[in-house]
A and B are shown apart, each in its own frame.
Chain A
């Protein structure tokens, strides 16, 4: 399993850009990298997924270097409502022919201050 390592916590202020890095040194060739957001007492929610280079959607960007041993979730101009735990997940899509593998990191508690 491709275990992941993230910072336990991060602080930021409203309007700033936040970058959370996840290390996954043992990532396998077929593994994808996915980030989830979780608010207290709620289930995690998908933010973004990528395989290599850069992926951007309406809420975040995901940067993956060529060696894919790490990835960085970038949240532009955070607000108070972005205060949550962010999880990095590495796993291989299960297409029915091979077993899926997945591992959630411990998560990063992001606190956004006014």
Chain B
């Protein structure tokens, strides 16, 4: 158990819909990362927050957005969902950020029908 929690574990929705994925980092970790993993794309870094502020951006679509709240939990919002958004979404946290060791959550499996 990494100490990072993600909800829900599974999510099934339809194209065009909007969903919110939630992540609670390990106690004391200031940085939260979001990743998307699909069969054909591997592990893709989406975005990083550090103590409430956006710190790094990867291959995140404009239809996706994220935020980190004062209590340090984070949410990833996915809108206008397409079939290709079906993937495992991982959240990770680290004490600081960047190259520090990241602790990954169990992931949320999103299925878009």
Contact = CB atoms under 8 A, between A and B. Distances in A.
Nearest to B33: A102
B99 A99 contact: no
A27 B56 CA distance: 17
B45 A104 contact: yes
Interface residues of B, number: 30
A103 B48 CA distance: 12
30 contacts: A38-B43, A41-B88, A42-B104, A42-B107, A43-B2, A43-B104, A43-B106, A44-B43, A44-B92, A46-B101, A46-B102, A46-B103, A87-B43, A91-B98, A92-B99, A93-B97, A93-B99, A94-B96, A94-B100, A100-B31, A100-B96, A101-B56, A101-B98, A102-B33, A102-B45, A102-B56, A102-B99, A104-B44, A104-B45, A107-B42
Interface of B: 2, 4, 31, 33, 35, 42-45, 48, 50-51, 55-56, 88, 90, 92, 96-107, 109
Interface of A: 31-32, 34, 36, 38, 41-46, 49, 87, 89-96, 99-104, 106-107
Given A46-B101, A91-B99, 5 more contacts: A41-B109, A43-B90, A45-B2, A92-B98, A100-B31
